């Protein structure tokens, strides 16, 4: 059985479960249970704290897990990113009271509150800054007001938590993060892991692309194919009227209206966009 660790709470938990469900697995947690089997897929799910998942994977206790890239890096666990999952997008930043800090070098001799000490220590070393790290479990944005730190380093998504604490970011982002699938370093990918990765990547494709169908005068087919080149090349089918063809292609979901406008302006008609329920690329 493939053993998969899934966040049991926090920012990644719901999206990870939804994505695995769309990929055909049964990861929904039953009441307060910390594990469940999915016999049809020969998988066992473990519901763990996202921070601990890198540790369990790195120690080889579970085969793979879903966590944040920032948490993997922070943990220093012996695990690698297998694929990025496109949810839980965030950046990691230093922040301080508005107007007080301009660059990382100004952190020299200061106290920095964070829940990600490994990540921050590595960044400070890279920048040659000697600062004291104050390790906190969460709600670090209030640490300056409470007098335990001079600056913080934390996850930023919308920035609203920082703003409401009167803080602003300074220096560049330490990293960009998102939910990722991780596996133990140096362990060859088994066929079951390959299937999992392919299924998850297919969910991302099905979410990011749509199918576009349209009727096109044969004389315009080359031009239309440039608008919708698809992955390999568009599918072209004959119509009863020999001067027209039907064309089908994949286009990026967020470009679908622009693509329809361009095709219409070119002379294509009966332009239809449909969602992709599932795929294997």
Ligand X SMILES: O=P(O)(O)OC[C@H]1O[C@H](OP(=O)(O)OP(=O)(O)O)[C@H](O)[C@@H]1O
Ligand Y SMILES: Nc1ncnc2c1ncn2[C@@H]1O[C@H](COP(=O)(O)OP(=O)(O)OP(=O)(O)O)[C@@H](O)[C@H]1O
Chosen from ligand X, ligand Y, none, partner binding at 70 (C-beta under 5 to 8 Å by type): ligand Y
Query: Binding residue for ligand Y (CB under 6 A) from 157, 194, 241, 254?
Result: 157
How is 17-64 classified by DSSP, letter by letter?
Answer: HHHHHHTT---PPPTT-SEEEEGGGTEEEEEE-HHHHHHHHHTTSSSE
Instruction: Tell me how far, at minimum, the Cβ of 179 lies from ligand X, in Å.
Output: 14
Contact flag: residue 97 with ligand X (CB under 6 A) = no
Indicate the residue among 177 and 249 with the shorter CB distance to ligand Y: 177
Contact flag: residue 9 with ligand Y (CB under 6 A) = yes
Contact flag: residue 10 with ligand Y (CB under 6 A) = yes
Contact flag: residue 65 with ligand Y (CB under 6 A) = no
Instruction: Tell me how far, at minimum, the Cβ of 75 lies from ligand X, in Å.
Output: 16
Instruction: Tell me how far, at minimum, the Cβ of 209 lies from ligand Y, in Å.
Output: 24
Contact flag: residue 117 with ligand X (CB under 6 A) = no
Contact flag: residue 235 with ligand X (CB under 6 A) = no
* Binding residues for ligand X restricted to 123-142, rule: CB under 6 A: 138-139, 141
Contact flag: residue 252 with ligand X (CB under 6 A) = no
Contact flag: residue 243 with ligand X (CB under 6 A) = no
- Say how far residue 147 (Cα) sits from the centre of its chain: 34
Contact flag: residue 141 with ligand Y (CB under 6 A) = no
Indicate the residue among 175 and 192 with the shorter CB distance to ligand X: 175
d(CA 79, CA 59): 9
**Those residues with Cβ within 8 angstroms of residue 75's Cβ, 6 or more apart along the chain or in another chain:** 51, 54, 55, 58, 118
β-sheet bridge partners, residue 114: 135, 153
When CB distances to ligand Y are compared, the closest residue is: 68
Contact flag: residue 192 with ligand X (CB under 6 A) = no
* Binding residues for ligand X restricted to 141-160, rule: CB under 6 A: 141, 154-160
d(CA 120, CA 152): 10
Contact flag: residue 71 with ligand Y (CB under 6 A) = yes
d(CA 24, CA 1): 16
| 235 half-sphere exposure, CB direction, 13 A CA radius | 9
Angstrom CA distances, 214 to 115, 183, 200, 224, 233, stand at 52, 43, 29, 10, 15
Contact flag: residue 201 with ligand X (CB under 6 A) = no
Instruction: Tell me how far, at minimum, the Cβ of 45 lies from ligand X, in Å.
Output: 22
Q: Where are the alpha helices (DSSP H) in 127-190?
A: 160-164
**Those residues with Cβ within 8 angstroms of residue 195's Cβ, 6 or more apart along the chain or in another chain:** none
Handedness of CA 34, 8, 71, 81 (dihedral sign): positive
Contact flag: residue 14 with ligand X (CB under 6 A) = no
Contact flag: residue 52 with ligand Y (CB under 6 A) = no
**Those residues with Cβ within 8 angstroms of residue 91's Cβ, 6 or more apart along the chain or in another chain:** 155, 156, 173, 175, 176, 177
- The answer to whether the CB of 77 falls within 8 A of the CB of 187 is no
Binding stretches for ligand X (CB under 6 A): 11, 138-139, 141, 154-161
Interface residues with ligand Y (CB under 6 A)? 9-12, 49-51, 68, 70-71, 88, 90, 138, 155, 157, 177
């Amino acid at each position: 059985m493939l053993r998969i660790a899934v966040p049991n709470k926090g920012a990644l938990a719901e999206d990870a479960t939804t994505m695995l469900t769309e990929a055909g697995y049964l990861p929904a947690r039953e009441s307060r249970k910390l594990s469940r089997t999915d016999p049809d897929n020969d998988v066992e799910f473990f519901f763990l704290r996202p921070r601990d998942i890198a540790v369990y994977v790195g120690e080889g206790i579970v085969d793979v897990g879903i966590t944040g890239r920032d948490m993997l890096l922070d943990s220093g666990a012996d695990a690698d990113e297998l694929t990025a999952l496109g949810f839980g997008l965030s950046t990691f930043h230093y922040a301080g009271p508005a107007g007080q800090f301009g660059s990382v070098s100004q952190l020299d001799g200061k106290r920095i509150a964070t829940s990600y000490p490994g990540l921050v220590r590595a960044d400070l070393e890279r920048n040659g800054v000697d600062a004291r790290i104050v390790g906190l479990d969460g709600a670090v944005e209030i640490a300056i007001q409470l007098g335990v730190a001079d600056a913080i380093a934390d996850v930023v998504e919308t920035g609203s938590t920082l703003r409401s604490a009167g803080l602003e970011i300074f220096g560049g982002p330490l990293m960009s993060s998102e939910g990722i699938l991780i596996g133990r370093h140096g362990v060859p990918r088994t066929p079951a892991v390959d299937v999992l990765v392919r299924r998850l990547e297919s969910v991302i494709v099905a979410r990011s692309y749509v199918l576009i169908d349209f009727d096109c005068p044969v004389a315009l087919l080359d031009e239309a194919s440039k608008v919708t080149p698809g992955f390999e090349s568009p599918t072209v089918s004959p119509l009863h009227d020999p001067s027209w063809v039907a064309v089908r292609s994949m286009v990026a979901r967020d470009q679908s209206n622009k693509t329809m406008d361009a095709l219409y302006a070119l002379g294509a008609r009966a332009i239809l966009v449909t969602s992709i329920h599932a795929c294997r690329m």
